[in-house]
Structure 1
Amino acid sequence: MTDVLLGFLTEYWLSLLSVICLLVISAFFSGSETALTAASRSRMHTLENNGEERAGMVTRLIERRDRLIGTLLIGNNLVNILASSLTTSLLIGLFGDSGVAIASPDRFALAVAPWVRPFVAVVGPISSLVNAIVRRILHLFGINLSSDLPMLTAHEELRGAVNLLHREGSVIKADRDRLGGVLDLGELEVSDVMIHRTGMRAINADDPPQTCVREILESPFTRLPLWRGSADNIIGVVHSKDLLRALAEPNVEPETLDIVKIAQKPWFVPDSTNLKDQLNAFLRRKLHLAIVVDEYGQVQGLVTLEDILEEIVGDIADEHDIDIQGVRQEADGSIVVDGSVPIRDLNRALDWSLPDEEATTVAGLVIHESKSIPEERQAFTFYGKRFTVMKRVKNRITKLRIRAAEDEGQVG
């Protein structure tokens, strides 16, 4: 038996050595994938700034995560197939543990990056070709993936991680909502957060000057649109500080003040502008208010810098704000809501998940789901909630009661 085994090893030692080497290479690919995909980009950025050249190499590799993973998988599969073929030809059951226990992904990533980089450079085009074929096949089924974006979006990964930490108690709800607000800026439009034209406070330029002055000074808002002839004809924006400076000039009285001369030129923005672009535009122009118009140029409302910031940090209140939340908790557990309350605000306040893709306000959601303009005392159940119309003014739902659908049967 010993002689047979010795002869076998003598004849096939090269094949056995090859299988062992291939298993080591497979372990290298598996460990590289684990380390590079788990490496901290922030940690690599810090190390690169501190002069670690390999950290920059790691950062460039993980910027195209789909290309990196595809390349490593191709290499690993080639190695495994070759090892399996040699093993089969030898008629032996060599099953080595090719896994690598990684104590520090960042440290291992730094070590393997110089070796992985040239392999990615050579095999990367093959991986890109495979990804292109996959995208083409998905496109035939109506699924479109941008060719310049990784298949896994960083936003969704980050949002999922924060939600997981929140469920585990490591992140409080307020911090989760703030981060979610930042991530949502590029997905929301100005029309989602604007003050609708029906709720705008504006000044009529044709009113007597003293009336305009009184309305501006009594308003809780620092900036007010100025219109003439029609509320759709916005001709300027009056800042209360400009008004006070004008009144401080010699020989200027409220009765003789020309309100149009102190008004700033209005800035009109499309209602389809996303909030990220609008926030950048506010900061670039150093302005705080814009008039929102639709595709026909009709005034739809106004949006302020504060409206966008509140999407991130929640309601911003100061000593001059009118405290109208529009949401009231009842003793029976139901919620009484003004129809104009934004769905996003309600979701954030109560940790609900009502959809806001088709409607912006709670009243709009009820109208969209019921496919009608409900009468008072009509009730509807959807998304696990029971909506009862409490008050309607003309065609506007102004107040609703919302309770959990499962609680409906318990209420007399």
Structure 2
Amino acid sequence: MHQLARSGDRRAGLVEQLTSEKERLIGAILLGNNIVNILASTLAASVLIQIFGEAGIFYATVAMTAAVVIFSEVLPKTLALLRPDGFALVVAPAIRLVVLLFAPVTLAVQAIVNAILRLFGLQLDANMSVSGHEEVRGTVDLLHSEGGMVKSDRDMLGGILDLRDLSVSDVMVHRTNMVALDANQPAEALLAAVLDSSYTRIPIYDGDRDNIVGVVHVKDVLRAMLAAKGDASGVNITNIMVEPWYVPENTSLQAQLTDFQKRHSHMALVLDEYGAVEGLVTLEDIIEEIIGDISDEQDTPEEEAIAGIRKHADGSYVMDASIAIRDVNRALGWELPDDDANTVAGIVINQAKRIPLRGEETRLGTYRFLVMARQKHRVTKVRIFIEDEPDKS
């Protein structure tokens, strides 16, 4: 309807104008509807009583109930459901007259209703209406449930809508999984590690992993080696690395994506509230939140598997405990809560209230988590059993 109004359709503009003041519109329609129904019922009862006497009350009740239900309720509303846009365009001029005619009465009724609500401590708030984001999300979910949209499209649109609600800490590579190199290594070993890595950009630290001094790009390394005629010892990594870019962990993905575009950059280091390096976030991490996991020719078959999840014959799933809960929910259609934890390991630890040992189990609703591997203070691999398969329809 908005697009029709923008293209110059006057009736579409009228529909938008009417729906912009929902209280007046609904009040006028309800008032007109009740006036017509009551008047028609009164007239029918008066006529039938004159014809059939007291029995006319019964005949009038039956006849008007059928007429009102069929012609005043079911039929017009069914037509409106079948052709909502077309129906709205047809009736908009008539509805406008009704709204204008009953405007004084509807305003008075609304004032009385507001006064009564205030007596009970209730206040109408314009902000209570559904936001555009939530309305689009609801439409997407409805279309998917009705079969009008495939799951991948629903996930992609949902990922776009989620960007403003997620922070970089939700999608970043945690420092425990972050590939970083020590600038104090011999040049040959350092360059060999850069070229052996499957990543294009690698953080460089000086002694302490919290002391990131730069980021090196593989292309810059290749250019430097070409200039040095292949002699790795002639390449100084500190001369080709670029200054690191730091962002707070609570930065929204929407803002971070915009910053990536403005700075023409693809990677940023994430700091916690104390200024310590928490991890790193890349442009690819944000894009994967929209379109799903991205694999390239450098990824191993294990890395190419969606979210690193393996399903077993008994219906259970084995996965890396560091996998983000959002990725698991997207891949398997589950609804694991991510309010208190970002990863599967976080759920297990939250439920156990400690770091569980290998072989221990925890439960969350219909999900049973078995700790399969643990390294020091980290849960690294988990097996999940579903006691009652969630309805994914």
* Common topology (TM > 0.5): yes
Q: 2:24 matched to which residue of 1?
A: 71
- Look up the SS of the partner of 1:162 in the other structure: helix
**In the superposition, relative to structure 1, how do residues 192 and 244 fare at CA in structure 2: closer, same or farther (>3 Å)?**
same
Identity over the aligned pairs, expressed in percent?
43
State the alpha-carbon separation in 1 of the partners of residues 191 and 273 from structure 2.
33
- Aligned positions of 1:76-155 closer than 5 A: 76-79=29-32, 92=46, 95=64, 97-99=71-73, 100=76, 101-102=79-80, 104-113=83-92, 119=99, 147=126, 149=127, 151-155=129-133
Structure 2: gaps spanning 5 or more residues: 47-59
Alignment pair present for 1:218 and 2:192: no
Q: CA deviation at 1:213?
A: 1.3
Instruction: Provide closer, same or farther for how the CA distance between residues 393 and 136 of structure 1 changes in structure 2, counting only shifts above 3 A.
Output: farther
1:268 maps to 2:246: yes
Aligned residues: 356
What secondary structure is seen at the aligned counterpart in 2 of 1:261? helix
What is the match of residue 300 of structure 1?
A: 278
TM-score where L is the length of structure 1: 0.74
Shift of the 287–113 alpha-carbon distance from structure 1 to 2, 3 Å rule, reads: farther
> Which is further off, 174-183 or 313-322?
174-183
Please say if residues 381 and 405 of structure 1, whose CA atoms lie closer than 8 Å, have aligned partners that are also in contact.
no
- 8 A Cα contact 1:190 1:273, kept in partner: yes
**Aligned partner (choices 7, 10, 15) of residue 58 of structure 1:** 15
- CA distance in structure 1 between the aligned counterparts of 2:108 and 2:171, rounded to whole angstroms: 46
**Which of 179, 183, 187 does residue 201 from structure 1 map onto?**
179
Counterpart of 2:378 in structure 1 is: 396
> Which residue identity does 1:194 align to in structure 2?
M
Amino acid at match of 2:156: R
| Deviation of 1:406 (Å) | 5.3
Give how far 1:170 is off.
Answer: 3.3
Aligned amino acid, residue 148 of structure 2: S
1:212–1:170 Cα change, 3 Å: same
Q: Which moved more, 1:273-282 or 1:78-87?
A: 78-87
Q: Tell me what 1:23 maps to.
A: none
Pair 1:156-2:134 in alignment: yes
Look up the match of 2:363. 381
Among residues 198, 215, 222, which one is paired with 1:237 in the alignment? 215
Counterpart for residue 55 of structure 2? none
Partner SS state of residue 358, structure 2: coil
What value does the CA root-mean-square deviation take over the aligned residues?
3.5
- Residue 347 of structure 1: which of 313, 329, 338 is its match? 329
Normalising by structure 2, we get a TM-score of 0.78
What is the Cα deviation at residue 293 of structure 1?
0.8
- CA distance in 1 between partners of 2:196 and 2:112 (Å): 66
Contact 2:368/2:385, CA 8 A, preserved across alignment: yes
How far has the Cα of 1:222 moved from its partner?
A: 0.5
Q: Which amino acid aligns with 1:353?
A: E
**Structure 1 stretches lacking a partner, 5+ long:** 1-40, 408-412
Taking a change above 3 Å as real, the CA distance of residues 293 and 61 of structure 1, as seen in their structure-2 partners, is farther
Answer with 127-136 or 49-58: which moved more: 127-136
2:238 partner SS: coil
Kindly provide the CA deviation profile for residues 347-390 of structure 1, in whole angstroms up to 9, marking residues without a partner as x: 22222111111111111101112212112211122220111112
- Offset at residue 76 of structure 1 (A): 2.9
The alpha-carbon distance between structure 1 residues 196 and 109, as it changes in their structure 2 partners (threshold 3 A), is same
